Amino acid sequence: MSSKYKSDSIVLFKKARLDGNYLFPTSSESPRTLQPSSPPPAPLSPDQLDRIARNKRAALEKLAAAQEPPGFGESWRQELLAEFGEPYFRELMNFVDEERTRHTVYPPAEDVFTWTQMCDIRDVKVVILGQDPYHNPNQAHGLSFSVRRPEKPPPSLKNIYKELESDIEGFQHPGHGDLTGWARQGVLLLNAVLTVRAPHSNSHKDKGWETFTDAVVQWLSNNQQGLVFMLWGSDARVKGAAIDRSRHHVLEAVHPSPQSARRGFFGCKHFSKANELLQESGKTPVDWNAL
């Protein structure tokens, strides 16, 4: 081999080493070795998992105590308390409080959650979804479609009574619009929006109530079996989209308002159908006359 060729080879070899693109180490360098990885953490014991769950529950309880709105039924509180700590719920409560300082808001604060006081959350068997509270004085009291005594039934409730008279044998107009008797039997009368600024319907729409009442419907759908949901009108059908229809019964019709009742609410026979479905599920039927 010529000295020039030998010299050029040495230069190229050194350059490759400097670039890091050589294939084998020099005698002074040790081969790289893989460091052993840390062993995976030991799984938590049942006692540790239980302690974590209890601590989490205690933290939620503490948060709920600070954020819980007035008039909330205990069994409902226990299952929905996580919602009280959500940012949207705090913003919603602040909004409603501010509205009350400047405007008339229905229903009164102590009646917003009347629907949680009528029965245990696990005793609900029928759900009737409404839109938002009545916006005239002495009407709204926390139950959809229902009004305080001695207020006369509004037009939609009048049509509900008309349908009951044709559907339920022996039903008679009670002479008032208070549906508390149904609620105490496990009929959840739930509006999508739970407050309203007088005298403007839907004035508290898209402020956060829909998220909260969606959580209520979702809990019932996930944790109960064989409930009957009555969805009247397009808004109720949209809200009922999350209902698990493999677990529950869903009855749909147009809204009972005077503008639409004759297009399918009259003759829907939801009340008798609900009782048939409840009996098939082993539940006690509703006494629709008990008002």
Q: What is the pLDDT of residues 141-188, one digit of tens each?
A: 999 999 999 999 999 999 999 999 999 999 999 999 999 999 999 999
Class of residue 269 by CB neighbours under 10 A (exposed 0-12, middle 13-18, buried 19+): middle
DSSP string across 95-134: HHHHHHHHS-EES-GGGTTGGGTSS-GGG--EEEEE-S--
Rounded to an integer, the average pLDDT of 188-202 is 97
pLDDT at 30: 54
pLDDT tier at 14, thresholds 50, 70, 90: very low
* Entry pTM: 0.80
- Which domains are assigned to the chain? 55-280 (3.40.470.10)
* pLDDT confidence tier of residue 3, bands split at 50, 70 and 90: very low
206 is catalytic: no
Q: Is the model's pLDDT at 75 over the cut of 50?
A: yes
184, 119 contact by CB (below 8 A):
yes
- For position 60, what pLDDT does the model report? 66
Q: What angle do CA 281, 161, 239 make, to 5 degrees?
A: 55
Query: In which residue are the tokens 């809200």 written?
Result: 239
Pick the catalytic residue: 50, 97, 132, 214?
Answer: 132
pLDDT at 7 over 80: no
Give the pLDDT of residue 39: 73
Mean pLDDT computed over 196-200: 97
% of the chain at pLDDT higher than 70:
85
Q: So what's the pLDDT on residue 15?
A: 46
Residues contacting 283, CB < 8 A, separation 6+: 125, 226
Contact 115, 71 (CB under 8 A): no
